[in-house]
Structure 1
């Protein structure tokens, strides 16, 4: 498996990145898990030179990158040009996964339609509102609202392509009408969308297996196979430990480069989370240290392509980051560590 990490560092734009803007990164990656917004900004920032937290947040506020529920589903950053066709691939499965809980919450299709009409009217004219403000509008219309219902109401509005992320109000997230953030585009046929998603994934996340793609995309095995079949002529297949890994042709020789850099990867980073089988970069004996039993992916230290420890952002100036290595032998040279720390500090503009 030692050939896999060097290629992934390159394909994931951690090494030798050609990206210049937050939009470049998110467009390249296809979708980036983003329930932890502060960490998601660093996931973007670590992938292009000269990045700062402020730059990524400005791109987010301008709608150059968007945040919505898509794929598995959970919060993801996506590029405006990709959001609609990605939602069209995900919508039916996301709706189906919510049906049982919808019944518990006494939410019907008719109620969703009523709620959507109120949300539409509330957000018209680029009137970006927090979830609480949308909830207040629903209450005033006589609709019973609580935290669970609001999660379902807003996710349904997202997957139906009506709303997406708006500009922050202070530190609070808002919703905006998708049509006011992103001009309508011609919809893709399902086969085209499957091929496009496969192309994005196997280019930006290679080497990866079909099962990895199924996990990341939330597609059925049949759908994922169709997507892969449509694009595999531009991929190279390699057998590793009995599994077939697909590599974009552009990256098949990436293993010739030697990378001794250290990376402080954020929580839920695509380098870790976007694969069903993570053993190539995260040995089984350390998996529970990096990923909690309830699915929390912690910020990790990566050296030579391998996860070797954890890190934590601190609030003190003297020690802005706390490093914790899995093994004493994992401790790396000060120069490599300092470069990683300096990159994170520069991003925060400290």
Structure 2
């Protein structure tokens, strides 16, 4: 126990929790993508390849990652790709979509619709009543088709092709199409979701589908429920971590922590973290050491704002882009020790940046690379957000 009667959770135990709860240790690996998504709460989906690679890193049989993830997303619909925290696209368990929408989407949705109407009005485009007609017609067309691209929907509703000038006279002036902006708003509002991509699993061109029906939940109750799920996966976490991950105001974070009766614990940095009230017992490290190749924007690497307990500050310039997006990372026993990339010829290249790892780690890392090869097969994967080390390794021979 630390001073004040709080239990202390040190960095070693935090890494042990990460290994088991994020399904990265060998004995903790999952049988299906649904288990992975439930364990992590959310899989980053703004880079389509991330979802499949993140699942593959955690499956007992990584070769099944692509077909099984596509089954879950596009056939069984047990996983749903939609906007969530911080106005970012994620893949969630279907059972959590109502919670995510009510806890994080409503405020963003109102802001996005207001912004669209404002930009259209400034450009002299049609008014809100006109947009409402187009919206109703578009949703009806999408319901008839099941899934469709924006181009296909515009064949049914030609007004989607209308264009207007955004930020006229500014250095960032541009031409916006109604279809692009409206579908984005409908996505944030929880009315449509991303469907099957036009190309392979690495494609970023998606069809749209009508969102599955879900109950409308109270915002505060939904925030408490989302926080409970996330702390089970990622606790302990500080208020700053929670505010960053959710995109909520600090008052909302504190309200949700109070609602679930979260337990404060002390951390190595001298800060206060929180766990759920059922999660105060010590967690032992896995018996077997483990290594993993995690993709760019992996939900483990991006889960916390404060990362020193698993990522040395001196490694960050090589592993992150200028906007704070993490690239592909190499892990050893709960710590980031390097990065990896796929070259143009399909081979994987990696570099260990921590000189302290030994032969055991090198062997495990080579085995982790084989797991990635099992997922990727003949595909070529280039992260949407390029980082210095990934660029260098991908160009290596």
TM-score using structure 2 length: 0.77
Moved more, 6-15 or 76-85: 6-15
Change in Cα spacing, 1:138 to 1:297, as seen in structure 2 (3 Å) is farther
Change in Cα spacing, 1:113 to 1:321, as seen in structure 2 (3 Å) is same
Alpha-carbon deviation of 1:330?
4.5
Partner of 2:94 in structure 1? Answer: 80
- On the 8 A contact 1:261/1:304 being kept in 2, the answer is yes
Moved more, 33-42 or 169-178: 169-178
Change in Cα spacing, 1:256 to 1:29, as seen in structure 2 (3 Å) is closer
Alpha-carbon deviation of 1:346?
2.3
Partner of 1:189 in structure 2? Answer: 218
Partner of 2:193 in structure 1? Answer: 164
- For residue 350 of structure 2, the aligned residue among 323, 326, 346 is 323
Change in Cα spacing, 1:250 to 1:343, as seen in structure 2 (3 Å) is farther
Partner of 1:68 in structure 2? Answer: 82
Change in Cα spacing, 1:227 to 1:138, as seen in structure 2 (3 Å) is same
- For residue 27 of structure 1, the aligned residue among 38, 42, 63 is 38
Alpha-carbon deviation of 1:193?
0.8
Partner of 2:209 in structure 1? Answer: 176
Gap runs ≥5 in structure 1: none
Change in Cα spacing, 1:309 to 1:42, as seen in structure 2 (3 Å) is same
Secondary structure, aligned partner of 2:308 = coil
Alpha-carbon deviation of 1:83?
1.1
Cα distance in 1 for partners of 2:41, 2:136 equals: 30
Partner of 2:16 in structure 1? Answer: 6
Q: Is structure 2 residue 55 aligned with structure 1 residue 44?
A: yes
For 1:180-223, what per-residue CA distance to the aligned partner results, in whole angstroms no more than 9, with x for missing partners? xx3x3433222321121011110111221122111111111111
- On the 8 A contact 1:264/1:340 being kept in 2, the answer is yes
- On the 8 A contact 1:6/1:258 being kept in 2, the answer is no
Cα distance in 1 for partners of 2:353, 2:130 equals: 51
Cα distance in 2 for partners of 1:96, 1:267 equals: 30
For 1:220-254, what per-residue CA distance to the aligned partner results, in whole angstroms no more than 9, with x for missing partners? 11111121112235x56233322112235457422
Q: Is structure 2 residue 89 aligned with structure 1 residue 89?
A: no
Alpha-carbon deviation of 1:277?
1.1
- For residue 58 of structure 1, the aligned residue among 40, 46, 71 is 71
What is the RMSD of the two structures over their aligned residues, measured on CA atoms?
2.7
Alpha-carbon deviation of 1:176?
0.5
TM-score using structure 1 length: 0.87
Secondary structure, aligned partner of 2:71 = helix
For 1:125-149, what per-residue CA distance to the aligned partner results, in whole angstroms no more than 9, with x for missing partners? 3520123333554545663375565
Change in Cα spacing, 1:256 to 1:43, as seen in structure 2 (3 Å) is closer
Change in Cα spacing, 1:192 to 1:18, as seen in structure 2 (3 Å) is farther
Partner of 2:141 in structure 1? Answer: 122
Cα distance in 1 for partners of 2:185, 2:323 equals: 25
Change in Cα spacing, 1:59 to 1:116, as seen in structure 2 (3 Å) is same
Cα distance in 2 for partners of 1:46, 1:111 equals: 47
- On the 8 A contact 1:202/1:246 being kept in 2, the answer is yes
- On the 8 A contact 1:236/1:252 being kept in 2, the answer is no
Moved more, 144-153 or 221-230: 144-153
Partner of 2:150 in structure 1? Answer: 131
Gap runs ≥5 in structure 2: 1-10, 165-174, 379-397
Change in Cα spacing, 1:307 to 1:142, as seen in structure 2 (3 Å) is closer
Find the structure with the greater CA-based Rg: 2
Secondary structure, aligned partner of 1:77 = strand
Secondary structure, aligned partner of 1:214 = helix
How do residues 251-290 of structure 1 correspond to structure 2 at under 5 angstroms?
Answer: 252-258=281-287, 260-290=289-319
Change in Cα spacing, 1:267 to 1:254, as seen in structure 2 (3 Å) is same
